[in-house]
Amino acid sequence: MIRSFREGDFVTARQDQHNFAISTHKDMGGRGRARQLHNPRTWANRPEVIARRGMMVGLREAGHSVSEVARQMGISRATAQLWLHRFEREGHVKTRPRSGRPRVLSAEQDGRIMEEIRACPKSSATELTRQLDLQCHPSTTRRHIREGGLDCYVPAVKETLTEVNREGRLRFAQENIHHGIDFSRKVIFTDEKTFTSVASSERVCWRPRNTRYKREHICEKTRSGRVSVSVHGWMWYGGVGSYAASSTREVIEWWDKGSKTFVI
């Protein structure tokens, strides 16, 4: 009977290596040095791969020779012997952690990258690499920023609000927060959107998730005066009103049950 294997079956004393492990090896100069081991960034530990290696162990325990196991699995004898010996010695058939390629950037450089990107979240990886004089490709800088917990998004674009605007909006909300639904039925909200030929220069923003509208992550812009078209719209308790496009501010006329109301 061939035993079925799952990834959770291979729990051994060496399982603490799945995060990091320090091993000492002899380099060409004969001196020992510590190397940090990481999980392999491959598909070598996929569940289907682990199950296939487990089938080799099952066939071996069923009495088949190593050559017969290799022939039935369609692999070389050396490969079959590798995983069978791994299971005999270590009790699992998972790919070991590897040292991998040495990191290009030091911990100090990582700290400088994160400090700079938090101070200027709208900087691109290319600009940051050039500014800090990092001897690496911008994609490496980009990867280190993501490892630091920040992701790259398109910044939210909003009109510039002065402190007077902010205080006025907050004051309006606080003054009317206690009004009931009857009051809301009598209120018409209007707004205007001006489309200009000036685009935002910031195309990226490095930030944590769910922080899109924090002030430092918003790309504020001012109107240049080169207006293409202005669109006026309104809404109320009963739904959304019509839109009106114009090159100058217009008065939108709204009729409700025979009474004329002007909204400016």
| CA-based end-to-end distance of the chain | 84
Domain ranges of the chain: 7-90, 107-149, 156-263
DSSP one-letter code for 39: -
C-alpha dist (Å) from residue 184 to 174, 241, 251, 254, 256: 15, 15, 22, 17, 15
State residue 177's pLDDT score. 85
**pLDDT of 46-62, one tens digit each?**
888 899 999 999 999 99
State residue 98's pLDDT score. 73
Phi, psi of 230 (to 5 degrees): -115, 135
- Mark the ranges of the chain whose per-residue pLDDT is less than 50: 1-34, 248-264
Q: Is pTM beyond 0.75 here?
A: no
Identify which of 103, 85, 101 has the alpha carbon closest to the alpha carbon of residue 93: 85
State residue 187's pLDDT score. 83
Please say whether the beta carbons of 149 and 208 come within 8 A.
yes
